[in-house]
Amino acid sequence: MADLDAEQKDTGQTIAARLWISRWLLMAGIVAVLAVYALAAISAYVVLAALLLLLAAATLPTTGARPSIESGAAIEAIGLQRLSGEYLAAAVADPLIIFDRTATIVHANAAAFAAFGGIAPGMSLSLKFRAPEMQALLDGVLSGDVASDVVDYTEKLPVERAYRVSASSVGHATDLYVLVFKDQSEARRIDRMRADFIANASHELRTPLASIAGFIETLRGPARNDPAARDQFLQIMQSQTGRMARLIDDLLSLSRLEMKPYLKPGTEVDLRETVDSVIDSLGPLARENSVAIERDYADGPLDVPGDRDELFQVFENLLENACKYGQSGGRVTVSIAHSDAGSEPGIDVTIRDFGPGIPEEHIPRITERFYRVDVETSRTQKGTGLGLSIVKHILTRHNARLSIKSELGKGAAFSVHLPTH
């Protein structure tokens, strides 16, 4: 009852306020009606009706000006409440997912879409994040046992990424929850890199180092006064140091790639121009090995999203391999073609040589670090065993695929499939 009274009182107040606001207009109206009554001979009832109409019009709520006067003072106080959750989520740089109490995704920000492909509103979170610790986190928060919780979550494939994930409920009784992913991959990867680098590099660097040490010993001992031998030894030592330098270059570029396995989006690369400049830069090597490079490009624009320098390195490594190991074939063909086969449209760049080919059993493994089909040939061709490893890393970053086809005695074809979007 008390509520009703208060409401009535409230209504009375608003009507009074409305009359006060339109008081000048009201008075002008009354004067006008009375003037008409005085000048023209019309019935008093009509005048009364006109006055009542005026009064009623004045008490009707006006929409335009009045609210702005009231809310103008309050806008700062409620501004934060009006802020859309979507805008707020978009402003957060870390992946952020809002979900309801059935663990269904309600909203995910752009960073979340970029980090975890294949999520969409309406999808179940517990189906996407299946790791036991994530299941426990979701169950804990949804059951209300804990208001918020934090776990470490690692994704091993396709590229290793580690997150510190925090889940918590939003506001009071909104039935909404939020999941925020803090990327910890960089730190984790640096630790791992250090261990890997030392293991791989020390093994590969030891061989040339051992031979240099051996020659130095010989030069200081038995060959001290033999200028012919000294010259020969120094030459060998020089080529060994060259090999070590190349190895270090490759290791460094590989480690740079591993440090940040995902790509900044946005830039487009013109494949035609890139491949052409690779062919130009490898011209001297091709002439030296007496290999002719033939081109076969598709018409139209050949642009793909990616990093030009990295793609340059991919084609450089592949073409260099083709010139070196397919030397006996005398020619190498480079073709660029649109491919719409399969689920994703893209552009295929194929580099084919006509050399001895690669035995089938090696094909699945040649992109492993330091894996060599033939150790002797690789050494004489100044290979480091890292070229294809680098290629594979770069392509993984571009969501691209490398497929290798080879028939013994007929050469090998390395085909790079780059998605166009």
Partner 1 sequence: MQSVHIVSAYDEELKYLSKRIAAMGGHAERMVEQAIAALVNADPGLAQKVIRDDAVLDEGQREIDDKAIIIIAKRQPMATDLREIVGTIRISADLERVGDLAKNVAKRVVAVTDGRQPTSLFRGLEALANLALTQLKEVLDVYASRSVEKIGFVRDRDDQIDAMYTSLFRELLTYMMEDPRNITPCTHLLFCAKNIERIGDHATNIAETIYYIVTGEQLPAERPKGDKTDKIGLSETLPVK
Contact mark string toward partner 1, 185..224, x via CB under 8 A: ----------------------------------------
Contact 412, 328 (CB under 8 A): no
Site residues (CB under 8 A) for partner 1, limited to 341-360: 342-343, 360
Quote the CA–CA distance of 254 and 342 in Å, as a whole number: 30
Is there binding between residue 339 and partner 1 (CB under 8 A)? no
Contact 253, 391 (CB under 8 A): no
330-355 b/e (C-beta count within 10 Å ≥ 16 → b)? ebbbbbbeebeeeeeebbbbbbbbbb
Is there binding between residue 409 and partner 1 (CB under 8 A)? no
Is there binding between residue 127 and partner 1 (CB under 8 A)? yes
Quote the CA–CA distance of 276 and 279 in Å, as a whole number: 5
Contact 240, 212 (CB under 8 A): yes
Compute the least distance from the CB of residue 357 to partner 1, in Å. 16
Quote the CA–CA distance of 361 and 358 in Å, as a whole number: 8
Is there binding between residue 67 and partner 1 (CB under 8 A)? no
Is there binding between residue 235 and partner 1 (CB under 8 A)? no
Is there binding between residue 103 and partner 1 (CB under 8 A)? yes
Which residues make Cβ contacts (< 8 Å) with residue 89, sequence separation at least 6? 96, 98, 107, 108, 109
Compute the least distance from the CB of residue 177 to partner 1, in Å. 16
Quote the CA–CA distance of 34 and 212 in Å, as a whole number: 119
Compute the least distance from the CB of residue 226 to partner 1, in Å. 34
Contact 335, 349 (CB under 8 A): yes
Compute the least distance from the CB of residue 118 to partner 1, in Å. 5
Quote the CA–CA distance of 77 and 21 in Å, as a whole number: 26
Phi and psi, residue 312, nearest 5°: -55, -45
Compute the least distance from the CB of residue 338 to partner 1, in Å. 19
Among 128, 164, 331, 379, binds partner 1 (CB under 8 A): 128
CB-nearer residue toward partner 1: 142 or 286 = 142
Among 8, 62, 71, 124, binds partner 1 (CB under 8 A): 124
Nearest to 307 by CA among 253, 269, 354, 356: 269
CB-nearer residue toward partner 1: 21 or 363 = 363
Choices 72-80, 89-97, 189-197, 362-370 (CB under 8 A): range interacting with partner 1: 362-370
Among 129, 163, 177, 414, binds partner 1 (CB under 8 A): 129
CB-nearer residue toward partner 1: 118 or 221 = 118
Contact mark string toward partner 1, 147..176, x via CB under 8 A: ---------xxx------------------
Q: Which two tokens stand for residue 357?
A: 């080919």
Between the alpha carbon of residue 140 and those of residues 145, 216, 237, the distances in Å are 6, 67, 64
> Which 8-state DSSP code applies to residue 121?
T
Q: Which two tokens stand for residue 320?
A: 């260099």
Among 107, 331, 338, 362, binds partner 1 (CB under 8 A): 362
Contact 160, 189 (CB under 8 A): yes
CB-nearer residue toward partner 1: 253 or 396 = 396
Provide the binding-site residues for partner 1, judged by CB under 8 A. Answer: 102-103, 118-120, 123-124, 126-132, 134-135, 156-158, 342-343, 360-365, 368, 371, 375
